[in-house]
A and B are shown apart, each in its own frame.
Chain A
Amino acid sequence: MSTQRVSNEAIAVTERVHWIGALDPTMRTFDVILKTPNGTTYNAYLVRGSEGVAVIDTVKAERADQFFARLEAVADYGEIKVIVLNHLEPDHSGALPELMRRAPQAKLYISDAAQLMLKALLNNNDIDYIPVTTNDAVSLGDRTLRFLNTPYLHWPDTQCTYLVEEGVLFSGDVFGCHYCDEQLFNDRVGDFRFSFEYYYAHIMRPFKRYVLSALELIEPLSIRLIAPTHGPILRDHPQHYIQRYRELSTPRLHLEMDRDIKTMIIFYISSYGNTMHMAEAIRDGAAEVGGFRVSLYDLEGGEVEPFIDLVEEADAILVGSPTINGDAVKPVWDLLSSFAKINVKGKVAGAFGSYGWTGEAVRMMDDRLRGLKMRVPLGGLRIKLIPSDEELGDCHRFGHDIGDFLMGKPRAREIDMSQL
């Protein structure tokens, strides 16, 4: 653990921009899900124009002392005309109520979607704010802040703010990482790629589609420096980080193979081969439909992480598990619980499995798949013990029906709600 003393000086980023954030070198677990071996920073910035000062983002409430000390080193509260929050998560909005108390004349600028969250986060209905979206701008005299609406990176409220005259992009959590080094700039902190990639994989990856939309707004800008809310300020080759986001967010399979061909993946695990035989019959039924790829994988033969990469690129995912002690088996839950790392919403899904006594696993998997907002066209297929020829026929039909559904030609069905 670092014991380095931290001075409370503001750090010049450009001629008119100062970093006034906070260092948190002892943080080890962020937001429950993220690890960091050297802590994080909460980056906030102060922009000075000829007709006033803007504060871009604040810090976590527990680190507000650093933020206010640095702010006071470069500006008086009375000069603050504009406060911008690019993202309302508490690690960036924590010092906002106190800042607004100290600078009551300042106007708060947030995204349209942030309005719904502001009151719930601050539990205060009297906050005055101005909602903004792409191309809205606010002038500080000889400096201009222009807003970019970049939702779902990684909350509905997220936006970026561009300081036009200096080419500085205040990007919020985009291009950020949990990495704490008081050298602060990417050319001075050493190799932090592991942290940058890890942050993307856990925070931005489920929102790739929105990353690509945001890049459409960001890439045309003339950017000299990226100022994110966590980790190093990117002043050396900022374009490199934009390109990396583009690479990480572009679907890989569609670059390498015929982009119009869909993919179905069937995962299974089997103790006596019964669920495996079901999987094979389902695969054969699906293959009969044709026009898409079908792959079969035994969960016993691989690790979860590469399977998640496959799932991310696939259009349909079927999962088969036996029932043991009234539940699906652990490798299946390991796989299904990892679906939260990617976006599976809207993918076609289905569950199946052989069982000995009770067969709860299939319905539990169905519930999980539906809970993730995957499209589950058919209730899961359960077969008691060893599938008979007739039951293998049911499996074949199950695969065929889901294949038809995937290809956009679902068989017409009339059912009663009690069957669902």
Chain B
Amino acid sequence: MAKAKIKFADVNVTVTVPVGTRIIEISEKVGSYIAYNCREGDCGSCLFTVLDGAEHLSKPSALENATLFAHFQQVLDGWRGAADMASLQEMMRRENFAGKVCRLACQTQVFGDATVAP
């Protein structure tokens, strides 16, 4: 089976995993600070940041995009006005979130080497 290396920067652990493994299946076992609740892509609490290798992770589904959108609208005061993900991302770019790739650990699968953090 093909393998990939996923590094959790916050706890300094690199884990060799079978390709296709979801981030949350590993993060909870190495004590990473990546939190979680529903594990169904609904609540948005397992949000994490990709530091390196974003292209080696599965593409976000419509569900994941919708949850990320709702999450950012809710947590970032005054950004409730954004009409859709694209305009929200534009707002985030303006607010210095540039370059940060945020994903949901319960949805994202590992396809190649990457480094992540909460």
Contact = CB atoms under 8 A, between A and B. Distances in A.
A375 B33 contact: yes
A417 B33 contact: no
Contacts of B18: 417
Interface residues of A, number: 21
Interface in B10-43: 11-18, 21, 26, 28-33, 35-36, 42
A420 B16 contact: no
Interface in A204-256: none
A13 to B, nearest CB: 33
A346 B17 CA distance: 24
Contacts of B17: 417
B15 A411 contact: no
B37 to A, nearest CB: 8
A415 B31 contact: no
B87 interface: no
A417 B21 contact: yes
B11, B14, B15, B31: residue with the most chain A Cβ atoms closer than 10 Å:
B31
B29 A370 contact: yes
Contacts of A410: 11-13
A377 interface: yes
Interface in B29-80: 29-33, 35-36, 42, 74
A417 B28 contact: no
A267 B72 CA distance: 40
B31 A413 contact: no
Interface string A103-134: 00000000010001000000000000000000
A151 B34 CA distance: 21
Contacts of A375: 31-33
Contact of B11 (A373, A377, A414, A420): A377
A71 interface: no
A327 B21 CA distance: 30
Contacts of A376: 29, 31
A206 to B, nearest CB: 14
Interface in A398-420: 405, 410-417, 420
Contact of B16 (A112, A348, A370, A417): A417
B33 A415 contact: no
Given A373-B36, A377-B31, A415 B12 contact: no
A419 to B, nearest CB: 9
A122 to B, nearest CB: 19
Contact of B12 (A345, A346, A370, A412): A412
Given A415-B16, A417-B18, A405 B11 contact: yes
Interface of A: 112, 116, 345-346, 348, 370, 373, 375-378, 405, 410-417, 420
Given A375-B32, A405-B31, A417-B16, 9 more contacts: A346-B35, A370-B29, A373-B36, A377-B11, A377-B13, A377-B30, A377-B31, A410-B13, A412-B14
16 contacts: A370-B28, A370-B29, A373-B28, A376-B29, A376-B31, A410-B12, A410-B13, A412-B12, A412-B14, A413-B12, A414-B14, A414-B15, A417-B16, A417-B17, A417-B21, A420-B15
